[in-house]
Amino acid sequence: MSKPKVIVTRKWPAEVEAQLTSLYDVQLNENDIPMTANELKQALLTADGLLTTVTDSITADILNIEGKRTKIIGNFGVGYNNIDINAAKNQGLIVTNTPHVLTDCTADIAMLLLLMSARRASEGERLILQQQWTGWKPTQLIGQKVTGKTLGLIGFGRIAQAMAKKAHHGFGMKILFYAPSQPAQTIIDDLQAVRCETIEELLTEANFVSLHCPGGDGTRHLINEERLKIMRPSAHLINTARGDVVDSTALIRALKEGWITGAGLDVFEGEPNINPDFLSLDNVTLLPHLGSATEETRTAMGNCVLKNISAFFTGQNPEDRVV
Ligand code: DGY
């Protein structure tokens, strides 16, 4: 029997590509240039499985192409707001994601941004890189203590809970969270976490606010001018979720005008294009979407896609089905 045909839209870890090559009739993307909408349509016509990632915009227009051969889209990423899920559902396509395997590494990056923002690490590094550091001074680059402060998490899924563990058990932070559903009591007890009834309540109380909700229409500009204005002037905003959860124009004003003290961002509205105003601010730490970027995690994400498509091609239900 011939092997199923799969097309991979971007370059993946070598170990995973080797597995794909041995198991499938695979088309890899060796030069890692993102595929155009037409190339993606063409891929749906020719492959049994399309292996996308979070930078591929899989719109209804692409998904609705007549004569598709593709039955499964294996997304390399826990987030799947890059795919029009309703259109995929209407087209009878199966879509899978890669949950669990990136939880700790993404929580680590959120914690890293929190620490960097609180302790003005980016500013300090720039001082050295620009050869402007003239030596230690009692009043230089004074940041804020993290230990014992209050961390407010918006969204309380796996990544938020992993960050809360690191923050509470490692830094003695108090944990507040806002989430649509109630987590298990054992989790709340372990973290001595307090659930806020409203986002506003959390924003007014937290020293650090970290975002952990999905992207997409439901959360677009959840953090807007009005909400930034009720945060503490000494607070920091951390975003490792999706760029469009924050209104970047409002955030830039908040950072310039001192509504809040700092921000740590791993994701951006319209990334990889970043609002140029961020680049001239001292009180923002910017990372290029590194949340899951460790050798172990990226390989595990690839293996997760392998597991899902292998289930599908052997007539089973993939474990990480989102549609
Ligand atoms: C995801 O998986 O959704 C991240 O944004 C990239 O790892």
Domains of the chain with bracketed CATH:
5-101+295-313 (3.40.50.720), 103-286 (3.40.50.720)
For residue 200, name the pLDDT band (cuts at 50, 70, 90): very high
169-186 tens-digit pLDDT:
999 999 999 999 999 999
Are 213 and 88 a contacting pair, CB within 8 Å?
no
Name the region of 206 (left: φ>0; alpha: ψ -120 to 50; beta: rest): beta
| 36 CB-contact burial (10 Å; exposed 0-12 / middle 13-18 / buried 19+) | exposed
pLDDT at residue 257, as a whole number: 98
Mean pLDDT of the chain: 98
Show the ligand 1 pocket: residues with CB < 6 angstroms. Answer: 54, 77-79, 102, 291-292
Token pair for 239: 């975003």
pLDDT score of 220: 98
Q: How far is the CA of 52 from the centre of ligand 1 (A)?
A: 12
Average pLDDT of span 28-45: 98
In order of 20, 135, 170, 284, the CA distances from 132 in angstroms are: 50, 9, 34, 19
Residue 81 has pLDDT above 90, yes or no: yes
pLDDT score recorded for residue 227: 99
Tell me: the pLDDT tens digits for 148-159?
A: 999 999 999 999
Section 186-204 average pLDDT: 98
User: How far apart, in whole angstroms, are the C-alpha atoms of residue 304 and residue 74?
Assistant: 9
Q: Read off the pLDDT band of 110 (50, 70, 90).
A: very high
What is the average per-residue pLDDT within 201-230? 98
Confidence of residue 266 (pLDDT cuts 50, 70, 90): very high
Whole-structure pTM value: 0.97
**What are the start-end ranges of the E strands in the chain?**
5-8, 25-27, 49-51, 72-74, 94-96, 150-154, 174-178, 194-195, 208-211, 236-239, 262-265, 284-286
Closest residue by Cα to atom 1, ligand 1, is 77
Span from the CA of 298 to the centroid of ligand 1 (angstroms): 10
pLDDT at residue 1 greater than cutoff 90: no
Tokens coding 271: 């990334």
